Amino acid sequence: MLALRQGRSLSDLFRSLQGAARRALMLDYDGTLAPFHVDPAQAEPYPGVREALTALLAAGHTRVVLVTGRAVRDLLPLLRLDPLPEVWGSHGWEEPAPAAGVALSEPAPEGRAALADAAALAPELEARGARLELKPSGLAVHWRGLPPERSAAIREWLEARWTALDLGRGLDWRDFDGGVELRLPGRDKGHVVERLLGEMGPGTVAAYLGDDLTDEDAFRAIRGRGTGILVRREFRPTAADFLLQPPEEVLAFLARWDLAAGGAGAAGHSSTGPEGAWSPPASLRDSGPGAAGATGPGRR
């Protein structure tokens, strides 16, 4: 565990949970609760994650929310939880709806048209070796596992199409770990954090855990109102407050949260996570919030 901001400690967070009026735990899925898999449909949770989430949901002391870039329909079969936690999918374009299960926000017409143009690139992208994920909110182009020269060639080809087709008229270019997503603008994980914290009001103790560049929006949104936790083996510039290594430190965090909030804990998990404070060198601190946001041609 690394504390990335001076004066922040996880012990303080756990102490604040004890008397909190409301608690919210927001969790990304891929790379945070599950290891990456070349085939996203095979990305099962880390051992122990289902038990930890089940314990949190059963205790009822915390609003547990999964915030994913995946379409909700692609995530539920991997979770296999009963009851299911609340899931916000497609970077906030899909939100929980009591009757329908999931409500999809309607994009602007130029976004929908650009998304159709991007989707039409699918055969050529697949022919180049990319793995595609077509979502209600965008087209994710995965090149994880390909040799660097092939992923670079896919990226270059896609950048050329992006310009030629003027896809930026309706989509954002968003890099992620292992690919790029051409995504409808106007929603991101930060938007979900804003919505949830707005709904729950002051007095809510909240944390957001995520691993990817797309989680930086959530880290920025939660700053000053909760705790951002980057889940990753190595440090990178981030707006998060802490760095936890998956899966051990994440599991320990979930267990400690449950106990601090008054739950009974999931059997078989340590209740004491690694604790301590570490100050990064000035060169890392200076990277500052926002350094790891969107990159690529969509930044124009």
Shortest Å, Cβ 84 to Mg ion: 19
Residue with the CB atom nearest Mg ion in the bound state: 31
* Nearest CB to Mg ion, comparing residues 107 and 246: 246
Q: Could you tell me if 207 and 254 are in contact, meaning their C-beta atoms sit under 8 angstroms apart?
A: no
Residue 31 found at the interface with Mg ion (CB under 5 A): yes
Active site residue ranges: 28
Among 17, 28, 227, 265, binds Mg ion (CB under 5 A): 28
Q: Does 212 engage in binding with Mg ion (CB under 5 A)?
A: yes
Contact region with Mg ion (CB under 5 A), list: 121-129, 204-212, 256-264, 283-291: 204-212
Q: Does 30 bind Mg ion (CB under 5 A)?
A: yes
Shortest Å, Cβ 31 to Mg ion: 4
At residue 135, what is the residue type? K
Query: At closest approach, how far in Å is the CB of 33 from Mg ion?
Result: 9
Long-range contacts of 104-109 (CB under 8 A, 24+ apart): 104/136, 105/187, 107/137, 107/170, 107/184, 107/186, 108/170, 108/184, 108/186
- Contact region for Mg ion (CB under 5 A) — 20-28, 257-265, 268-276, 282-290? 20-28
Looking at 95, 117, 211, 249, which residue binds Mg ion (CB under 5 A)?
211
3-class secondary-structure state, position 261? helix
Closer residue to Mg ion (CB): 95 or 212: 212
* Closest distance to Mg ion from the beta carbon of 32 (Å): 5
Contact 62, 23 (CB under 8 A): yes
SS3 147: coil
CB 209 to Mg ion: min, Å = 9
Structure tokens at 19: 């008397």
User: Cα 214 to chain center, whole Å?
Assistant: 6
Q: Which two tokens stand for residue 251?
A: 């599991």
CA distance 223 to 24: 14
CB 194 within 8 A of CB 207: no
Looking at residues 80 to 139 of the shown chain, list those that interact with Mg ion (rule: CB under 5 A). none
Binding to Mg ion by residue 216, rule CB under 5 A?
A: no
Which residues here bind Mg ion, judged by CB under 5 A? Answer: 28, 30-31, 211-212
